[in-house]
Amino acid sequence: MADRQIVACGGAHYESDPLWRYLLDLTGKERPRVCLLPTASADRDDFILPFYERLADRAELSYVGLFRRKVVDLRAYLLGQDVIFVSGGNTASMLAVWRVHGVDTIIREAWEAGIVLAGTSAGGLCWFEDGVTDSFAELGPLGGGLGFLPGSFCPHYDSEPGREPAYRELVGSGRLPAGYAADDMVALRFVGGELAEIVSGRAEARAFRVEPDGAEALETRLLPA
């Protein structure tokens, strides 16, 4: 069976050349095929253009829009990629649209086939069972991720001041299962369902394992490789 790899970034992946290099190197190909799914941003051009600006000279690029869909056979198209990268935006709305178009089923098949799944913010959170989102206008539980990875996830741990206390409270109270938190420009790579590696695009960025400890939450710092 091919390695089932997911790279979940806390945010701002577009700005980090080291994280892009790391992600492309995972494919083992000189010019991998990388497809962007910008559904969480409602297929906004300002999420799509930076993707092309960063990677045009390093990979064969494409994107699949579902709000202005042009691809008829989504399964064949997505299973022809080396990397599927998911943008930030509204996680709950993205998952609802994916389910209508059958992308949730296709992307699981892609993962099981060894295609690298990756993303930032919403694209880091969606792979887990649950996590912290602002999809509903205030920070709270997502209430139903894809569940490829066990537990929960909190992106933007350093860049949005409410994220850390919200995640700690939700895990400590049992409203979210134990999981992981990531600052912007930190990526966690999972092989199967297990954390395999942490990489950072800036020296001071952090990642944590967050678990319940009585009525509180315990943070354990995870160091990049």
Whole-number percent of the chain with pLDDT over 90: 90
What is the per-residue pLDDT for 152?
98
Residue partners of 218: CB distance under 8 A and separation at least 6: 210, 211, 212
At residue 40, what is the residue type? A
pLDDT score, position 223? 86
- 5-222: in CATH 3.40.50.880: yes
Beta-bridge mates of residue 131: 153
> Across residues 144-158, what is the average pLDDT?
97
| Bridge partner residues of 153 (DSSP) | 131, 180
Annotated active-site residue 121? The verdict is: yes
Q: Residue 46 CB: number of other CB atoms within 10 A?
A: 8
Summarised one tens digit per residue, pLDDT across range 84-107 is 999 999 999 999 999 999 999 999
Residue 150 has pLDDT above 70, yes or no: yes
The predicted structure's pLDDT at residue 1: 58
Angle at 215 between CA 211 and CA 217, to 5 degrees: 30
pTM, rounded to two decimals: 0.96
- pLDDT confidence band for 180 (50 / 70 / 90): very high
Mean pLDDT score across all residues of the chain? 95
* Domain coordinates in residue numbering, the chain: 5-222
Q: Which of 121, 135, 152, 200 is catalytic?
A: 121
Cα 12 from Cα 24, distance rounded (Å): 17
Which residue do the tokens 């000189």 mark?
30
- Which of these is catalytic: 13, 16, 156, 200? 156
Task: Say whether 173 is catalytic.
Answer: no
Measured CA to CA, the distance from residue 21 to residue 77 in angstroms comes to 24
Whole-number pLDDT of residue 213: 93
User: CA distances (Å), 63 to each of 8, 43, 77, 98, in order?
Assistant: 19, 9, 10, 14
